[in-house]
Homo-oligomer: A and B are copies of this chain.
Amino acid sequence: MDSKVRLHVGQPVGAGQSVDLPREQAHYLGNVMRLAPSDTLTVFDGVDGAWRARIEALGKRGGTVTCEEQVAPQRDPPDLWLCFAPIKKARTDFIVEKATELGAARILPVSTRFTNSERVRQDRLQAHAVEAAEQCGGTFVPEVAALVPLDRLLADWPAGRALIFCDETLSDDPLWSESGEAGPWPPAPAAILIGPEGGFAPEERARLRALPFATPVALGPRILRADTAAVAALTLWQAARGDWR
């Protein structure tokens, strides 16, 4: 059975495997969750599924657990990236949390002409992704990439990956094209690109529209905030092409 207490660990998990916990995780188990040696929890390393582990030792400087039995197989999300222009801190944190829950495989902050935030704390966002994976019962943690300018992202775009960009100028068009039940959403490998609060600059939008691998989509008749658009687009892609079917 999967415990309510779940930890992502930085060492491989497996039958009989001993795993060291850093100070912060030992503090969390002992002082926040009130666990003690011989209690069990769930650990996962992002690759080998989730394991029931028993606490061997718990101290101020760290702890040790031993893996006993696999309680869930590894489950990777579909090959879907979320590229987004960072916004205010709380909403950026929120996007990373939601992208992890909804099953993005990789999260890429992108700077655009109208992006206010020119810096992101990559380590902080990665920690948010880990926490979201722990909370949502996942076994996979998406990598949060370093901030990259939109120009460079597009110049280095990997062959064969579809780019879906949310274009608010389309918002009076119907959401679904004539392309059938799955709508305009191309299959994996794919990436969703969400612009900043001010939208894309006209030259950015023109460049995106001219790319042979890019598909514009509209998300309804109201203007969505960037964080709402990210959640809505991830949801619709998962339902049409991803692992929600």
Interface residues of A (CB under 8 A from B): 75, 94, 97-98, 101-103, 135-138, 174-176, 181, 183, 219-225, 228, 231-232, 235-236, 238-239, 242-245
Contacts and interface: CB of A to CB of B under 8 A. Distances in A.
Given A181-B181, A236-B236, A243 B221 contact: yes
Contacts of A235: 231-232, 235-236
A115 B103 CA distance: 27
A137 B231 contact: no
The 10 closest A-B pairs by CB, nearest first: A220-B244, A232-B235, A137-B223, A175-B244, A231-B231, A235-B235, A181-B181, A136-B222, A136-B223, A101-B228
Given A175-B239, A231-B228, A232-B235, A101 B222 contact: yes
* Dominant secondary structure of chain A at its interface with chain B: loop
A224 to B, nearest CB: 5
Nearest to A181: B181
Nearest to A139: B222
26 contacts: A75-B221, A97-B225, A98-B231, A101-B222, A101-B224, A101-B228, A103-B221, A135-B223, A136-B222, A136-B223, A136-B225, A137-B222, A174-B245, A175-B239, A176-B239, A183-B239, A220-B238, A220-B242, A220-B244, A221-B243, A221-B244, A228-B231, A231-B232, A231-B235, A232-B235, A235-B236
Nearest to A225: B101
B225 A135 contact: yes
B98 A228 contact: yes
A222 B102 contact: yes
Nearest to A219: B244
